[in-house]
């Protein structure tokens, strides 16, 4: 039975609905903002709107907002950016990263002095600790948030914290207390006429009654919550209520309705890319199909669930999928496979046990370290008191201390000055090495182009010219021979066009980078297997030739590497011109990689990209991770802005 969290209420925001229109309008504003403040606001809104739709893209916007807000020294924007980026990590289950951003946001909230938003952040941190299984910490932060909300007399937020505390109690199987909490929150939401809060309470009550077990009540509340979420167009929580209703139908013996609801939940989880929830639903469906005797469908469902669970390292779902496959193989009378699957599930179960044991040990270690640090601080205070007393008794000691301090400052200054000179020398050496590397990359690229051009001419035109000479060397040239010769000439024309495009696309020189990128994408799309889309916004038709060629070559190099190494089949190229900079973004759905491996690469591809960037004074950021699908590359190129006379 799945649970629903209510962290979406933390900023008092409206629950996410179909926001495609809003997102498009925000992107339009972002292309030409009136000020840097407006740019940051739009970036924050895009991050928030996309947090459940595409967390990776949302995070790119959030990190841009964070960087800009720090440049402007605007703490209000900075804390919102920290929070939004934390939410994107939380949406993907990256709890350590989410906790890091939220704790930094909490420190800044306290510094700003906004009690309501401080409580919101405390509540969010409690949710993250709950997801990590650190229930004492979760309760600690929830209680801190509730205390502030009670002082502010914010009943809606009090109800939210009550629900989140109920979720923790549910994990500890305190079901009567959990129901009491939900009923208490439900009274508040009904009084305030908060329809979303009411739906959340109903959804969670359906989950709790399932565990009691009271399947009639579980079904009643799950169906009620489903209808409420649908009426509010709250799509992201529907997979949970549909799954809960399907499981209740199953326990009540109605297999057909159970499958219907579970299949709807499965489809929505696929839509929202909720991999862990998707694996759970598929395992449950596999067991139903097995009970009905449809073992082929059951086996496929269980294997697909196992593959998803292994990909995201969800050990509980891996174990359950193995158990389901064991029972399916037994039903198929394939007892050897059934035994092997059961044995594998036992191995995963042991891993889960070791993980829990390690977590408990780490928690005890943290408590021990905390007490140890407190004792050390107390001891340090006592020692400082003794030192202060001795210093007060001896002026000589004070003068000596000042002399030592002066000597330290002088030595520090000399050391710092020497370090600065050393860093300058290293920087100059690095720049020289970089220039040499870039020169080698350019020369190497030119040599490769020459070799390829020579090979194309030799292999392509050599054979065609020989065929044409053979056809026309006869004394009597008949019409079929002429037709064949014309075909060869046509092939030669196509080959010349391809070679010319690879050397320097004429469309780039005549029509600009926008048309050149579209033709480049069209050529790749015609080959099949890979789809490349190109979007451009507000490009200056008078863009300099250097900028156009450099950006085109960077796109060409990066896309070729994606096709060659990442196994991606969807590539998106966006080129946006702002008043002071050009932004090139390339996203793909291929396999991620370690950025350090790329930057340490000795290949000409990476060197060529850096050479092009150096020519146009551009910078590059790469968002990727080994073992994760999808990579985003962002290039920023400053534009020369004319100064007022």
Are 232 and 244 in contact by the 8 Å Cβ rule? The answer is: no
- The residues with which 585 forms a beta bridge, in sequence order, are 574, 634
* Cβ-proximal residues to 346 (8 Å cutoff; 6+ apart), any chain: none
Bridging pattern class, strands 570-577 and 531-537: parallel
Banded model confidence at residue 6, pLDDT cuts 50, 70, 90: very low
CA triple 56-197-285, angle to 5 deg = 60
Banded model confidence at residue 370, pLDDT cuts 50, 70, 90: very low
- Please give the pLDDT value at position 388: 66
| Helix H or strand E encompassing 577 | strand 570-577
Cis peptide before 526 (omega within 30 of 0): no
Q: Which of 85-89, 206-210, 298-302, 526-530 has the lowest mean pLDDT?
A: 526-530
281-331: pLDDT as tens digits:
999 999 999 999 999 999 999 999 999 989 988 888 899 999 999 999 999
- Please give the pLDDT value at position 132: 80
Collapsing DSSP states into helix, strand and coil, what is residue 352? helix
Q: Give the single-character DSSP code of 8.
A: G
Q: Whole-angstrom Cα distance, residue 618 to residue 612?
A: 8
Are 338 and 326 in contact by the 8 Å Cβ rule? The answer is: yes
Sign of CA dihedral 93, 97, 101, 104: positive
Q: What is the mean pLDDT of residues 510-530?
A: 84
Q: What is the mean pLDDT of residues 190-217?
A: 92
- Please give the pLDDT value at position 356: 61
64-98: pLDDT as tens digits:
999 999 999 999 999 999 999 999 998 888 888 99
Banded model confidence at residue 589, pLDDT cuts 50, 70, 90: very high
| Helix H or strand E encompassing 585 | strand 581-591
| DSSP letter string, 311-359 | HTT-HHHHHHHHHHHHHHHHHTT-HHHHHHHHHHHHHHHHHHHHHHHHH
* Cβ-proximal residues to 276 (8 Å cutoff; 6+ apart), any chain: 93, 309, 312, 314, 317
Banded model confidence at residue 575, pLDDT cuts 50, 70, 90: very high
**13 has pLDDT over 50:** no
């Amino acid at each position: 039975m799945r649970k629903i969290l209510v962290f979406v209420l933390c900023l008092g925001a409206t629950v996410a609905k179909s926001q495609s229109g809003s997102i498009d309008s925000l992107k339009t504003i972002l292309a030409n903002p009136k000020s840097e403040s407006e740019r940051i606001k739009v970036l924050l809104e895009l991050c928030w709107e996309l947090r459940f739709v595409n967390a990776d893209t949302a995070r790119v916007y959030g990190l841009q907002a964070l960087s800009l807000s720090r440049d402007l020294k605007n703490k209000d924007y900075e804390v919102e950016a920290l929070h939004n980026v934390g939410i994107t990590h939380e949406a993907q289950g990256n709890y350590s990263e989410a906790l890091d951003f939220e704790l930094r946001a909490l420190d800044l909230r306290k510094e700003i002095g906004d009690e309501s938003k401080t409580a919101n952040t405390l509540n969010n941190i409690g949710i993250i600790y709950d997801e990590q299984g650190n229930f004492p910490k979760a309760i600690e932060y929830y209680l801190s948030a509730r205390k502030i909300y009670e002082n502010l007399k914010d009943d809606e937020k009090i109800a939210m914290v009550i629900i989140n505390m109920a979720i923790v109690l549910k994990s500890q199987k305190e079901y009567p207390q959990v129901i009491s909490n939900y009923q208490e929150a439900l009274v508040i939401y009904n009084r305030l006429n908060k329809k979303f809060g009411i739906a959340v309470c109903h959804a969670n009550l359906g989950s709790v009654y399932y565990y009691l077990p009271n399947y009639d009540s579980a079904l009643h509340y799950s169906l009620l919550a489903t209808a409420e979420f649908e009426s509010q167009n709250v799509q992201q929580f529907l997979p949970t209520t549909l799954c809960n209703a399907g499981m209740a139908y199953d326990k009540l013996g109605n297999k057909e309705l159970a499958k219907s609801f579970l299949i709807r939940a499965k489809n929505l989880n696929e839509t929202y890319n909720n991999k862990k929830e998707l694996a759970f639903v598929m395992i449950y469906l596999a067991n139903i199909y097995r009970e009905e005797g449809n073992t082929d469908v059951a086996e496929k469902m269980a294997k697909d669930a196992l593959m998803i669970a292994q990909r995201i390292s969800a050990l509980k779902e891996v174990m359950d999928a193995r158990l389901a496959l064991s029972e399916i193989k037994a039903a198929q009378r394939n007892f050897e496979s059934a035994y092997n699957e059961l044995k594998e599930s036992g191995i995963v179960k042991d891993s889960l046990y070791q993980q829990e044991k390690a977590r408990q040990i780490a928690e005890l270690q943290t408590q021990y370290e905390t007490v140890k640090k407190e004792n050390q601080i107390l001891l340090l205070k006592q020692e400082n008191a003794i030192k202060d007393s001795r210093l007060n008794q001896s002026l000589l000691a004070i003068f000596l201390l000042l002399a030592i301090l002066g000597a330290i400052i002088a030595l520090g200054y000399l050391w710092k000055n020497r370090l600065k000179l050393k860093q300058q020398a290293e920087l100059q050496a690095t720049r020289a090495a970089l220039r040499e590397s870039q020169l080698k990359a350019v020369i190497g690229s030119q040599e490769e182009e020459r070799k390829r051009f020579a090979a194309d001419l030799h292999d392509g035109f050599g054979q065609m010219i020989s065929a044409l000479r053979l056809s026309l060397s006869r004394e009597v040239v008949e019409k079929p021979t002429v037709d064949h010769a014309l075909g060869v000439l046509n092939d030669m024309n196509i080959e010349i066009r391809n070679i010319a495009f690879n050397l320097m696309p004429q469309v780039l020189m005549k029509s600009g980078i926008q048309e050149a990128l579209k033709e480049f994408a069209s050529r790749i799309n015609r080959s099949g297997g890979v789809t490349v889309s190109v979007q451009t916004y507000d490009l200056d038709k008078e863009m300099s030739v250097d900028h156009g060629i450099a950006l085109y070559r960077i796109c060409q190099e990066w896309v070729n590497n994606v096709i060659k190494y990442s196994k991606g089949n969807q590539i998106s190229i966006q080129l946006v011109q702002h008043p002071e900079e050009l932004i090139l973004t390339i996203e793909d759905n291929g396999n991620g990689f370690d950025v350090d491996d790329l930057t340490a690469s000795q290949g000409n591809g990476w060197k060529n990209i850096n050479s092009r960037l150096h020519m146009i004074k551009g910078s590059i950021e790469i968002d990727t991770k080994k073992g994760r699908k999808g990579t985003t590359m962002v290039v920023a190129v400053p534009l020369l802005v004319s100064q007022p006379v």
